[in-house]
Amino acid sequence: MPSRQLSTLLLYSILFSSFFILSACKSTPEPVKTVHVTPKKLSHLPYDAATHGKDIVDTQLALGDRNLYLASNGNIKMLSTAQCQIDISAHRGDFRQPESSYNAISAALNDNFNSVEIDVMLLGDGTWVNHHDSQTGRATVHYTGERFKLERMNLKEFKRLKLRDKHNNNLLNERPITAKESFKIFAAQRLPNQKLNVEIKSKANGQKLLELDNMLRKYVGHEGYYFSSSEQDTLVKLRGINPIVYLGFVQGGHPTSIDILRSDLRKGASNDAYYLENHTNIERASNYGTKRYRSRYQDHTSTDALKKLRAKLGYNSGIHLDIRSYMQNSGVKQRAQRLGMKVYSYSLNGTDYHQSQLLKLSKNNLPDGVIVDATPYKICQQLFNAAVPAQRYQAVTDLGQYIVSLPVDADFDRFKEMLGYQHEGYYLSLTSGLKSIYSAKAKVVPASTPTPLLEHGFPTITDEKIDTHTGDSIILTLPSSNAK
């Protein structure tokens, strides 16, 4: 074949192939990616705010009138916690999430807690892990169902544990995390002002404490964490390792709080399947713990005791008290402040009791910080009225108008649940459960005729005025006496 014909044939072949490829491309177009644009009226909201959905603009502006916003995860959060002049620490992370989990730390950071408290202890092989109890069975369970002491476990065995759901006690397909993993997730998601409160549960030598402090410096940074412990010796060793970090001494729970806790555990044993299963262990532990605790309980709230504590722990230190101890030792905050120490409160008897005691205090007498199983919204709203409606926004949708109509004590932590009462005129209160929004108020009608007084001050009794005007006639027909 002549070269000219061959070139022509090759050219036609290339053109045909190109046409086929282009045709194939046109027959299967790529899907168009939709880009969501945040409405201009919501551009001021934090990064995690919900910005799309039905009536979202009106909903967010109605919430914003109360210093609140709807987050993309469905939670209601505060726009600003500037009014809440108290450090709010998430006890073991977010109380709604499983203990010793990624989610417990992540959710607490996302909910704008000032600090996140976690517990760390040593395994038998020297690994630091995020765990509260000295043995498995409550928050974590071994896959065999067998109970293990943490001090006798190694890392491989620890990673076989399963977390327990807080709400129904079911096992989750999720394991507890190590201390290093906790530090990494905290460092990755924290805001500059958020700190990690590392409570040390194990007795450890100086080398292991140095290892712990080095991990925190490496992953979190020296200004992003502090320590707490119920063992003064542990804190003294840490002061030798780190001369600037805050150290908080955790004074044990008040004996009355311990007794109430034991009573609550006994009551729970008759209703909760998990508690019933472990009834013997709970009773043994609580009885022994209470007896031993009463014999060794020491109060460190006096001036002399605080001075000794301050001398041991150094300038950047404080004391963490059961709220019952705090309330029974008035002036402890002032005594601590004179020594340059902070005071935090916690509770063994639940958040509601903790909150009820805090509400009895003036703003100046509140502790420097609280370690709680509650949201920053609940603490700030009840103590500082941080979500009072400004009444500057007129809602236009049914949901927006419902939000605007809610009284100041509405429980926005239960917002989803509260929406079930939207069209019935009810809401969920922070303290009183289900209440009516438009509760009828008794009308006080002032007397039109003043009661005259005699010269000695005794009233003269007068007849009330009777309206003698008649209205329309009403005809009544009575049956006759002989009617059958």
Summarize pLDDT for 15-56 with one digit per residue, the tens. 445 444 444 444 555 655 556 688 998 999 998 999 998 899
Averaged pLDDT, 412-422: 93
Q: Which residues, including other chains, have CB under 8 Å from residue 421's CB and lie 6 or more apart?
A: 427, 428, 434
Does residue 76 contact residue 412 with C-beta atoms inside 8 Å?
yes
Selected residue with higher pLDDT from 57 and 278:
57
- Between CA 377 and CA 75 the distance in angstroms is 11
Query: CB–CB of 39/57 below 8 Å?
Result: yes
pLDDT confidence of residue 32: 56
Query: What is residue 117's DSSP assignment?
Result: E
Kind of pairing between the strands at 87-91 and 369-372:
parallel
Pairing of strands 426-429, 369-372: unpaired
pLDDT digits (tens, 9 = 90+) for 384-412: 999 999 999 999 999 999 999 999 999 99
H/E stretch holding 102 reads helix 102-110
Residue 293 parent element (H or E): helix 279-296
Rg (CA), the chain: 33
213, containing H or E segment: helix 206-219
Residue 74 burial (CB count, 10 A): 9
As a whole number of angstroms, the distance between CA 326 and CA 346 comes to 9
Per-residue pLDDT tens for 140-195?
A: 998 888 899 999 999 999 999 999 988 888 899 999 999 999 999 999 999 999 99
- What domains can you pick out in the chain, each with its CATH number? 40-68+386-436 (no CATH), 85-254+297-384 (3.20.20.190)
> 144 — phi, psi (to 5°)?
-85, -10
In the predicted structure, residue 453 carries a pLDDT above the cut 50: no
Q: Which one, of 290, 292, 291, 298, lies nearest residue 319 by Cα?
A: 298
**47: Cβ contacts below 8 Å, ≥ 6 apart:** none
Q: List CB contacts of 218: < 8 A, sequence separation 6 or more.
A: none
Report whether 408 contacts 389 (CB < 8 A).
Answer: yes
Given a contact cutoff of 8 angstroms between Cβ atoms, the answer to whether 333 and 343 are in contact is yes
Asked if 242 and 225 touch (Cβ cutoff 8 Å), the reply is no
Q: Give the helix/strand (H/E) hosting 61.
A: helix 56-64
User: Could you give phi then psi for residue 334, rounded to 5 degrees?
Assistant: -65, -40
Helix (H, G, I), strand (E, B), or coil: what is residue 49? strand
Calpha distance 225→217 (Å, rounded): 9
Q: Does the model's pTM come out above 0.95?
A: no
The H or E element containing residue 342 is: strand 342-346
Q: How far apart are CA 90 and CA 53, in angstroms?
A: 31
